[in-house]
Amino acid sequence: MTRYSRIVGTGSALPERLVTNADLVRELAARGIETSEDWIADRTGIQQRYLAAPDVTSSMLGAQAAQAALLSAGVAAADIDLIIVATSTPDFIFPSSACLVQKALGAYGGAAFDVQAVCSGFVYGMATADAMLRTGMARRALVIGAEVFSRILDWNDRGTCVLFGDGAGAVVLAADDSPGILASKLHADGRHESILRTAGSVHSGAVTGHPFLTMDGQAVFKLAVSVLDSVARETVAMAGMAVSDIDWLIPHQANVRILQATGRKLGIAPERVVVTVDRHANTSAASVPLALDTAVRDGRITAGHHVLMEGVGGGFTWGAVLARM
Ligand code: UT7
């Protein structure tokens, strides 16, 4: 009987258009929105982001990331029997982006569904796929975080539109006799649903409510720092390990100050915290797999390393997955 799941490949995809803070400040100024390169860099650590062209969707970026992950794993698309896409910006209301990714990959017949846990979506997807692989429901899974958050931003709201970017990241998880995923823990607290949301819907052919992201930045910041600390400790303890055993911490990439505070609280050295928010901005469910793939490809994360991935975001949701690579 299969007991574990293991990450056997990673991949990512970014849209073509690179927008630096200078570009964005210029574009916003032309619309009468005042911001500055210094404000964005100092408050968030973001230097640039990639924004998707109007005809590029989450499933397209997700499929591209998935193809890169399959290639690095040496696994054929036909051998995938589970696809989970974490996204809050799906192509359609339905079918799921996972079914569209499956079609793009030509990997028919296995299970495919989307996970909606906003910026915690990838970690939710990983924990779900791990449970399914460990119980024998699937043998090879693609877990993908894919977003075009630029579509749900209010470009007149300087407090949010400078923070996000588009992109996708993916991993191939395979059933294995040895771990793999050592522990995972998921949480949500719906009482905080109003501090970060896109409260729009489609009703009788029209968009109702507010179809743009709104956020109480300071409330999200405080909660994020607190839960990223607690769920890291909880997950590491579940695996019977200590925080000092962690080689790499990959928290959701929302704000470099949140990443630094999390590392500091946990006693993890700054050089052991993977930071890509400077390059990608906040890509919601794509941020953790994008950061993972970056650190795998640049040679920082190698076989045997213990990697703690953490998500936090709207819902309010949070969670962590501890993996031995
Ligand atoms: O992925 C989901 C998770 N999301 C997050 O984790 C985001 C968490 N929150 C944050 O990262 C931070 O709260 C922000 C980066 C969003 C904001 O930083 P802050 O230090 O909390 O700033 P603030 O909201 O307190 O705003 C400070 C000032 C305000 O001006 P006044 O009222 O002090 O005069 C804002 O109006 O900064 C102003 N401001 C801006 N100024 C220039 C807000 N946005 C901008 C901007 N450019 N783009």
C-alpha 254/C-alpha 284 separation (Å) is 8
Q: Is 251 in the pocket of ligand 1 (CB under 6 A)?
A: no
| 99 included as an active-site residue | no
For the segment 273-321, what is each residue's pLDDT rounded down to a tens digit? 999 999 999 999 999 999 999 999 999 999 999 999 999 999 999 999 9
DSSP string, 245-261: G-SEEEE--S-HHHHHH
- How far does the centroid of ligand 1 lie from the alpha carbon of residue 284, in Å? 17
What residue ranges of the chain have pLDDT lower than 70? Answer: 1-2
Torsion of CA 125, 129, 132, 138, to 10 degrees: 130
Ligand 1 center to residue 283 CA distance, Å? 17
Q: How far is CA 210 from the centre of its chain?
A: 24
Three-state DSSP class for residue 123 = helix
Q: Are residues 160 and 254 in the same domain?
A: no
Distance CA 118, CA 264 (A): 25
Q: Active site includes 252?
A: yes
* Number of domains comprising the chain: 2
* CB of 253 closer than 6 angstroms to any ligand 1 atom: no
Give per-residue pLDDT as tens, 81-127. Answer: 999 999 999 999 999 999 999 999 998 999 999 999 999 999 999 99
For tokens 């696994």, the residue is 75
Dist CA 43 CA 48 (whole Å):
14
Write down the pTM of the prediction: 0.98
Q: Which atom of ligand 1 is nearest to the CA of 160?
A: 16
Burial of 94 (0-12, 13-18, 19+ CB in 10 A): exposed
The confidence score (pLDDT) of residue 2 equals: 57
Residue 172 near residue 142 (C-beta atoms within 8 A): yes
The owner of tokens 């916003």 is 28
Return the residue matching tokens 């956020």. Answer: 215
* Residues pairing with 214 in the sheet: 197
Measured from the CB, is residue 161 less than 6 Å from ligand 1? no
Of the candidates 176, 203, 234, which is a domain's last residue?
A: 176
* pLDDT of the residue at 107: 87
Cβ contact 37:21 at 8 Å:
yes
DSSP string, 294-322: HHHHTTSS-TT-EEEEEEEETTTEEEEEE
The C-alpha atoms of residue 182 and residue 238 are separated, in whole angstroms, by 8
Residues 192 and 287 in one domain: yes
Pairing of strands 48-51, 200-203: unpaired
Say how far apart CA 132 and CA 126 lie, in whole Å.
10
Question: Is residue 87 domain-shared with residue 21, that is, in the same domain?
Answer: yes
171 and 282 together in one domain: no
Report how far ligand 1's centroid is from the alpha carbon of 158 (Å).
9
Would you state the structure tokens that stand for residue 17, as one six-digit string?
């258009």
Q: Which residue has the tokens 């050295």?
A: 269
| Pocket of ligand 1 contains residue 162 by CB under 6 Å | yes
| pLDDT attached to residue 176 | 96
Q: Parallel, antiparallel, or unpaired: how do β-strands 306-313 and 317-324 relate?
A: antiparallel
CA gyration radius for the chain?
18
> 171 and 189 in one domain?
no
Check if the beta carbon of residue 122 is closer than 8 Å to that of residue 145.
Answer: yes
- Ligand 1 centroid–CA 42 distance in Å is 10
Which of 176, 196, 217 is the last residue in one of the domains? 176
- The catalytic position among 21, 99, 161, 252 is 252
For residue 287, give the amino acid letter: S
Residues 32 and 126 in one domain: yes
Helix (H, G, I), strand (E, B), or coil: what is residue 233? Answer: helix
Domain extent at residue 127: 4-176
Based on the fold, state whether residues 37 and 163 are members of the same structural domain. Answer: yes
Tell whether 108 and 207 lie within a shared domain: no
The pair phi, psi for residue 184, each rounded to 5°, is -150, 150
From the CB of residue 267, how many other CB atoms can be counted at a distance below 10 Å? 9
Could you tell me the CATH number of the domain that includes residue 210?
A: 3.40.47.10
Round to whole Å and give the CA distance between 162 and 35: 9
